[in-house]
Amino acid sequence: MLHNQSRGGIHGIRFAVTARRRGEVSVRLNRWSVLRVCAGVSFIAAIFPVSLHAQSTGLNGVVALSSQLVDRGQAITPSTPILQGAASWTSASGWSLGLSGSTKVRSPGQMVETLAQVSRSWSLSSDWQMQTGLLYYNYPGNSRSRVYNRAELGASWIYRDVLTLGLSAAHVFRSGNQRPRAAADIGLHWPLAWHFSLVAGVGIAESLIPPHPPYTYNYPSHYKYGHIGLAWARGPWQMELEHIETDLETSGWRGNLDVSPWVATISWSF
């Protein structure tokens, strides 16, 4: 659940516990959990995998430092260092529970995001894995960030730990329109030499909230987002640098926080 873009951007911590790597369960940082994914998917997206053998029950944890918290192309925090932490429990049958939280390094006593997740992972074949999950996002900061509080139901299909396809529907609590908001994304994690990997993803999502006035007239119902970058992993350590793209501003979604064109994350798992 470490959130960082899987889903098109980095990052918040979202423990996406997914079935990947030929029968293993992996815990990814909110990247495209993140595309998000992932996850999202996507913290997901989402993206930083820490493997757990699916044959055994286990506890897992990750701590990470990111340059900004971004969720599906939308900036949740300003461009400032974000400390993230996540913990998960995984059963031998593929069920997992996870909790994560994020705070600004300059204001360590104030949480900017918390996330709870329950998910189920299983193998479809020797090449394909699948995960379904229910997530609750809470942003306890100012009124601008609290509008993103939501519950989200999602499903991801993973091919050989390289390609991730994700679909999700979210219910936003602080919105007059109770219609679910849909999102779809695809992510790539391609191994390179010397412990490096190419990471990339694109997605499309319906807006969780409408833009601020005077941009509420005839605004688009959806927007697109994506990322590309390099990841390095060795032992419990992982680093990632991504270039983020979104058409939120060009599509009339002004009034949001600015997304930094580059987002960096370093994490340690235990």
pLDDT in tens, 57-77: 689 999 999 999 888 888 888
Strands 222-234 and 262-269: unpaired
In a domain, 6, yes or no: no
pLDDT for res 148: 78
In a domain, 10, yes or no: no
pLDDT for res 256: 65
Below-50 pLDDT ranges, the chain: 1, 3-55, 215-216, 252
| Total domains, the chain | 1
In a domain, 20, yes or no: yes
In a domain, 9, yes or no: no
In a domain, 2, yes or no: no
How far apart, in whole angstroms, are the C-alpha atoms of residue 164 and residue 42? 9
pLDDT for res 94: 92
How far apart, in whole angstroms, are the C-alpha atoms of residue 45 and residue 202? 10
In a domain, 28, yes or no: yes
Residue 70: strand pairing partners: 75
> For the whole model, what pTM was predicted?
0.76
pLDDT in tens, 159-203: 999 999 999 999 988 766 678 899 999 999 999 999 999 999 999
Domain that holds residue 140: 16-269
How far apart, in whole angstroms, are the C-alpha atoms of residue 153 and residue 123? 20
What is the 3-state composition of the chain as percent helix, strand, coil, each rounded to the nearest 5?
A: 0, 55, 45
For residue 121, give both structure tokens: 């992972």
In a domain, 11, yes or no: no
Q: Report the sign of the C-alpha dihedral through residues 201, 207, 208, 214, in that order.
A: positive
pLDDT for res 145: 67
In a domain, 1, yes or no: no
CATH of the domain at 229: 2.40.160.40
